[in-house]
């Protein structure tokens, strides 16, 4: 599936605007996990 590649960028901007964190954990041949946290 292809796109413009701005989805993750937009998510990161929104999360950072709300003083949260975003990250990725990746393992070869197993895939990637994206995570984020937001303060309550």
- For residue 1, the model assigns a pLDDT of 55
Question: At 36, which helix (H) or strand (E)?
Answer: strand 31-37
Within a 13 Å sphere around the CA of 20, how many CA atoms are in the beta-carbon half?
A: 15
Domain ranges of the chain: 7-37
3-class DSSP assignment, residue 12: helix
Q: What is this structure's pTM?
A: 0.69
Helix, strand, coil proportions of the chain in percent (round to 5)? 30, 35, 40
Cα–Cα distance measured from residue 40 to residue 37, given in angstroms and rounded to the nearest whole number: 10
- Reading the block at residue 34, the tokens are 């994206």
pLDDT tens readout for residues 12-35: 999 999 999 999 999 999 999 999
Q: How confident is the model at residue 2 (pLDDT cuts 50, 70, 90)?
A: low
- For residue 5, the model assigns a pLDDT of 75
């Amino acid at each position: 599936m292809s796109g413009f590649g701005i989805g993750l960028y937009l998510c990161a901007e929104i999360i950072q605007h709300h003083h949260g964190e975003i990250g990725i954990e990746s393992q070869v041949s197993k895939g990637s996990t994206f995570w984020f946290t937001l303060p309550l």
